[in-house]
Structure 1
Amino acid sequence: MTDLTRIALPTGVELDVQIAGPEGAPAVFLLHGFPESHRTWRGIVPDLARDHRAIAPDQRGYAASSKPANVADYAPDRIVGDLLALADHLGVDRFTLVGHDWGGAVAWMAALGRPDRVERLVIVNAPHPLVFQRSLFDDADQRAASQYITRFRDTGIDQGLVGQGLERFLATSFAQHTAGALLGEDKAAYLAEWSHPGAMTAMLNWYRASSIVVPAPGEDPPRPAFLDAPFPPVTQPTLVIWGTGDKALLPVQLDGLDALVPDLTVERVDAGHFVPWQNPQAVIDAMRRWGI
């Protein structure tokens, strides 16, 4: 069982955090996505911890970490604030930041907003904010694949996500994407994490607090002006690891990325969306080749 440290942050939340590796070694923060926890990195942290300080929090709303009551409490800037406050608490100035799924969305934002803190960036199947929003307007296949976001924003689903409803959710929205990797102890651990009071609502509130616009198929809503305006570049060296079998985030998310991230390396790997579960060795190998 993973040992977790409970840390109270000045952002008003308490997070459970896995910390591994030698004190004083270069710090790597690892941010999980939906509907996970620090367990996302269970096949990756042991290797990183050989020569890095690996720090993997259960982010706000997840597992036993704090679950603020309001949707606005899950806006991306609040979650970036947690990351920076956690780094401050641990005495870490600059660090490598790794993010998957929603954790990757937070990582993109942190890299764009705080290049003084984020030294290097590793993204695992998480779209750049401009590329993603643009694709939801311009790519019919990505728009269709993203309709689950609209379903997750419906608060009416929350009441069914208890008991057997959690088992159904695991089978239909998670386990089928992990290619049989979610078994036994791992399955039981996730069901236990999701069973914390308010956990499912808190996790889904990440979708509800996001400003991303998801048009319905065939809809022609007003186009946000920023989609066709200059966008600030990501200045850090950036490694994007992409599971090519992802059915939710399609390969269009890599199109034009090099123009937004000048120092970009892309590694395509054999996996679906949940790459850290399905092919953790490919993630380790890609990061090590890149110089982590």
Structure 2
Amino acid sequence: MPQLELDGAVLAYDDEGPRDGDGVPLVFVHGWTANRHRWDHQMAHFSATRRVIRLDLRGHGESGGAGVRTIAELAEDVLALLGHLKVDRFVLIGHSMGGMISQTIALAHPDRVERMVLVDSIAKMTYSRGRGLLMAASTLVPFKLFVAANIQRAFAPGHPREEIREYIRASAETPREVVMTLYGAMRAFDVLDRVGEIRTPTLIVHGYHDIQLPLRQMLRMAKAYPDAVVRVIDAGHELPVEKPEELTTAVERFVGSAAV
């Protein structure tokens, strides 16, 4: 596992696939409390034919370090890694908070983003009553219980419990400071009035049963995009692992026509 030392952090990442494959590199960015292994299915599929990069964001997975307070700062970490790998143009695929990071990069560097895929993500978080109650309870219950409640509600009903328990365990390893600080960063994130500036071809894929970032919030974002393709899949908020084959197929169809 390669690592990049960066401003007091150590970023773990994977860089796989042929350098002379079809298309520009695909860059996968995971969400809040997750890690790069959310993309295992997509990584295995795409790395057979093209270069694929993924990382553990600062404070997540096998990446150390804290201190990041905004989505823009996480975006700078992603760009620093791509600079280190000498990647100029790329396709961004971001899940949840990773989609917020992707939009931030697309707005700041439109010339570098070939295409973009937003998975279960939005341009502005609206605080639902259920999430408000859960966050209010976060100071009253043990941290691991709080994390478990968040992860449990992220999956559509009927998802295997043993898999959910494994994701709860992995998320609970994210330091409390990182979890709570970045939740605040997501609450503060708002580019809804700017997404009309994004001319990057964009695919928006969302779970029909997503209650973390509900479908109606995604549609509010989607209608502001000048030319986005929208795909809704019968899943919850964790599309990369709930319906990995369907997501991979949707991404492949979208990026397959990207310029080489």
TM-score (norm 2): 0.84
CA offset digits 1:47-91 (Å, max 9, x no partner): 1112221111110111231222x4xx2311111100111100111
Residue 269 of structure 1 deviates from its aligned partner by 0.6
The corresponding residue for 1:204 is 180
* DSSP 3-state at the match of 1:43: helix
The corresponding residue for 1:17 is 13
* DSSP 3-state at the match of 2:247: helix
Say if 1:187 and 1:148 are closer, same or farther in 2 by CA, change over 3 A. same
The structure 2 residue matched to 1:147, chosen from 103, 108, 132, is 132
* DSSP 3-state at the match of 1:81: helix
Residue 34 of structure 1 deviates from its aligned partner by 1.8
Distance 1:148 1:208 in 2: 15
The corresponding residue for 1:173 is 150
Say if 1:149 and 1:115 are closer, same or farther in 2 by CA, change over 3 A. farther
Give 5+ residue unaligned stretches, structure 1: 137-141, 214-223
Residue 144 of structure 1 deviates from its aligned partner by 2.1
The structure 2 residue matched to 1:61, chosen from 59, 62, 70, is 59
Give 5+ residue unaligned stretches, structure 2: none
Distance 2:153 2:185 in 1: 26
Say if 1:43 and 1:183 are closer, same or farther in 2 by CA, change over 3 A. farther
Matches within 5 A, 1:224-239: 232-239=196-203
Which residue identity lines up with residue 248 of structure 1 in the other structure?
Q
The structure 1 residue matched to 2:216, chosen from 252, 262, 270, is 252
Indicate conservation of the 8 Å contact 1:112/1:233, yes or no: yes
CA offset digits 1:85-118 (Å, max 9, x no partner): 1100111001000111111111111111211222
The corresponding residue for 1:122 is 117
Indicate conservation of the 8 Å contact 2:8/2:65, yes or no: no
Matches within 5 A, 1:4-153: 4-9=1-6, 11-25=7-21, 26-68=24-66, 70=67, 73-129=68-124, 132=125, 136=126, 143-147=128-132, 150-151=135-136
Are positions 1:191 and 2:169 aligned together?
A: yes
* DSSP 3-state at the match of 1:98: strand
Distance 1:89 1:205 in 2: 27
Residue 127 of structure 1 deviates from its aligned partner by 0.5
* DSSP 3-state at the match of 2:31: coil
Residue 20 of structure 1 deviates from its aligned partner by 2.2
Say if 1:188 and 1:230 are closer, same or farther in 2 by CA, change over 3 A. closer
Greater mean deviation of Cα atoms: 34-43 or 257-266:
257-266
Distance 2:159 2:194 in 1: 43
Distance 2:94 2:84 in 1: 20
Which residue identity lines up with residue 5 of structure 1 in the other structure?
P
The corresponding residue for 1:218 is none
